[in-house]
């Protein structure tokens, strides 16, 4: 059961990361994003240097972002019972705070992105609530489906 919860959590974490990434990319493409570039891309460029070939930079960025989202999905699925939309949203807020006080200053964007613009904090909160909401909803739904299946097969 533990392996199952880790796999399911990782999978839904990746799905939730894709959901938040789609919103982030739509904001960037439409010009409404307050961020000068996607934060995962900025982190990879900061860690490994901005001279990386674009395909390598983007591949590493996508792998890091999906892996990070999957990891936290697995940790939530394994460590919290029951997982609900509320616990997913709580995780999203916690990850948002971590990003605001650790990663944004690391990038030189300041606490809560204030060295660029304070609206970064609002935009990234929306993205992290999307991640947490999708993750919590999916894991809650998966748990309910598994309970229904076990009740049906026990009859």
- Which contiguous run of DSSP H or E holds residue 66? helix 54-79
pLDDT at 147: 56
pLDDT at 145: 57
pLDDT tens digits, residue range 61-98? 999 999 999 999 999 999 998 999 999 999 999 999 99
pLDDT at 144: 57
CB 34 within 8 A of CB 117: yes
The structure's pTM equals: 0.89
Question: Residue 155 — pLDDT band, cuts 50, 70, 90?
Answer: very low
Question: What contacts 132, CB < 8 A, 6 or more positions away?
Answer: 16, 88, 89, 90, 91, 92, 93, 95
Question: What contacts 70, CB < 8 A, 6 or more positions away?
Answer: 9, 10, 11, 13, 14, 17
Residue 83's alpha-carbon distances to 62, 140, 146, in angstroms, are 26, 5, 13
Name the percent of the chain lying above pLDDT 90: 86
pLDDT at 146: 58
In the predicted structure, residue 149 carries a pLDDT above the cut 90: no
| Ranges 18-22, 101-105, 141-145: which has the least confidence | 141-145
Mean pLDDT of the 41-70 span: 94
Q: How far apart are CA 46 and CA 5, in angstroms?
A: 34
- C-alpha triplet 9, 12, 15: angle, nearest 5°: 155
Q: What's the whole-number average pLDDT of the chain?
A: 92
Q: How far apart are CA 92 and CA 105, in angstroms?
A: 19
pLDDT at 142: 79
pLDDT tens digits, residue range 108-117? 999 999 999 9
Token digits for 154?
């026990």
In the predicted structure, residue 8 carries a pLDDT above the cut 70: yes
- The residue whose two tokens read 């894991």 is 139
């Amino acid at each position: 059961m533990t392996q199952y919860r880790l796999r399911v959590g990782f999978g839904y974490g990746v799905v939730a990361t894709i959901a938040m990434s789609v919103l982030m990319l739509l904001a960037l493409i439409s010009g409404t994003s307050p961020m000068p570039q996607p934060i995962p891309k900025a982190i990879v460029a900061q860690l490994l240097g901005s001279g990386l070939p674009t395909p390598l930079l983007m591949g590493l960025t996508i792998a890091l972002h999906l892996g990070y989202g999957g990891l936290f999905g697995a940790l939530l699925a394994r460590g919290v019972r029951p997982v609900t939309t509320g616990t997913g949203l709580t995780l999203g807020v916690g990850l948002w705070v971590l990003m605001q006080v650790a990663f944004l200053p690391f990038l030189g964007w300041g606490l809560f992105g204030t060295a660029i613009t304070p609206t970064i904090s609002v935009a990234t909160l929306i993205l992290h609530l999307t991640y947490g909401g999708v993750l919590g909803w999916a894991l809650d739904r998966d748990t309910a489906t598994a309970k229904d299946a076990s009740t049906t097969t026990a009859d």
